[in-house]
Amino acid sequence: MSIEVNHATLAGHTLDFELMQTMMQIIRNGGLGISGTNFDAKTRRKSTDLKDIFIVHVAGMDAMACALENAELC
């Protein structure tokens, strides 16, 4: 699966909504099992500064954690 901000926007959804829907499906199907996820965050601008790359990964993982919390409430 590929979750991208532009795909959510084109569908008329927010990225938060898309992430929550994804997490809901993972939970409903019993979790990830023995598999996992591949997380690839990209900076909005073409920065190669390690601080920028670190911040974008932390922010992305935070968004995934919030989506999981929200999905568990549904």
As a whole number of angstroms, the distance between CA 37 and CA 35 comes to 7
In the chain, domain spans: 5-73
Choose among 60, 64, 63, 61: nearest CA to 43: 60
Report pLDDT digits (tens) over 42-55.
777 788 889 988 99
What are 25's two structure tokens?
């499906």
pTM beyond 0.85: the answer is no
Is residue 65's pLDDT more than 80?
yes
